[in-house]
Amino acid sequence: MKKRNLSDNFMKLFIILSSIITLGTMIWILIYVISNGIAHVSWEFLTEFQEGQIEGGIFPYIISTLYIIFITILIATPIGIFSAIYLVEYAKPGKIVRIIRFATESLAGIPSIVFGLFGLIFFVTMLGFRWSMLSGALTLSIMVLPTVVRTTEESLKAVPNIYREGSLGLGASKLRTIRKVILPSALPGILTAVILSIGRIIGETAAVFLTAGTAKALPKSIMDGGRTLSVHMYYLAKEGISMDKAYATATVLILVVIVINFIANKLASRLNKKNS
């Protein structure tokens, strides 16, 4: 009895300790970065920039980041969702599905620099898209595709079969069943996939600077290069240009992530409310 109590207590202690370590490190990093950076975040820093001036503001990099996120999501989400629909709703379990699943899983495990190299060779050079938003977004699309497919797949599988039976039993076509019953139920999960992808895109450096370049200009079209906040930070820190600016940029990056997550969460709970 006593022994049991002891191990119970030990377990509890361990759980609490782990939580504290996880949460603590996270909060510590956040506070450290923001406290070092926030003083250098000014209105000028956010909005001003001079062509080719690395010491100036980060406006073009914010735009490049949002630009790349937007195009990547635009490319990767539909493809990912349609693949997941195919895998869950249409494909007969068997060899092809196993191969596709194996491919997506392998793709998820490949380091991002490999995607970067591929993008550099294929999109930048072979297809002649140069260092551009497009090359970057295409490369990142391939990179986040496994996440989108897997997460969407899981949320489709979680839709109870009785909904499918109910709809088909009324004489609705399979397509209509998917569109009107299955997808709406799976939407929160699909949104999670998008959030996860955005997180990966924001955090990515290697695959981005190899394909979208490091141009310090504001991208005016999809064929222009540009640098994202992460890439910019990498340069600031690596070249020792300005640690202050690096922290300030990191602060902005963190804020962007928080805002995007906040919006996505609001959207998800909105959808959930409508659905339940």
Partner 1 sequence: MNNMKITVKDLNLYYGDFQALKNINIDIEERKITALIGPSGCGKSTFIKTLNRMNDLIEGVKIDGNVMLDGEDIYKDVDVIKLRKRVGMVFQKPNPFPMSVYDNVAYGPRSHGVKKKSILDEIVEKSLRSAAIWDEAKDRLKKNALGFSGGQQQRLCIARALAVEPEVLLMDEPTSALDPIATGRIEELTEDLKKEYTIVIVTHSMQQAGRISDKTAFFLLGDLIEMGDTKKIFSNPDDKRTEDYITGRFG
- Interaction site with partner 1 (CB under 8 A): 92-93, 160, 162-173, 176, 180-181, 184-185, 275-276
Dist CA 175 CA 182 (whole Å)? 10
Name the nearest CA neighbour of 233 among 213, 251, 211: 251
Nearest CB to partner 1, comparing residues 40 and 176:
176
Nearer to partner 1, 3 or 92 (CB): 92
Name the residue nearer to partner 1 (CB basis): 16 or 175. 175
Q: How far is the CB of 181 from partner 1 (least distance, A)?
A: 6
- Supply the minimum distance, in Å, between the C-beta of residue 170 and partner 1: 4
> Taking the complex as a whole, how short is the minimal distance between the CB of residue 229 and partner 1, in angstroms?
39
Q: Among residues 168 and 217, whose Cβ is nearest to partner 1? A: 168
Nearer to partner 1, 101 or 176 (CB): 176
| H or E, element range at 76 | helix 59-85
Minimum Å gap between C-beta 151 and partner 1 is 20
- Burial letters 142-161, b for 16+ CB under 10 A, else e: bbbbbbbbbbbbebbeebee
Q: How far apart are CA 248 and CA 41, in angstroms?
A: 6
Helix residue ranges per DSSP H, the chain: 2-37, 43-47, 59-85, 95-109, 112-119, 133-157, 161-169, 174-176, 183-203, 206-209, 229-238, 243-275
Q: Of 165 and 239, which has the nearer Cβ to partner 1? A: 165
Q: How far apart are CA 42 and CA 68, in angstroms?
A: 24
Helix or strand (DSSP H, E) at 178: none
| Smallest gap from residue 65 Cβ to partner 1 (A) | 36
- Distance, CA of 92 to CA of 156 (rounded, Å): 15
CB of 89 to partner 1, least distance (A): 11
Picking from 29, 45, 27, the residue whose alpha carbon sits closest to that of residue 236 is 45
Tokens of 86: 């195919």
Shortest distance in whole angstroms from residue 165 CB to partner 1: 6
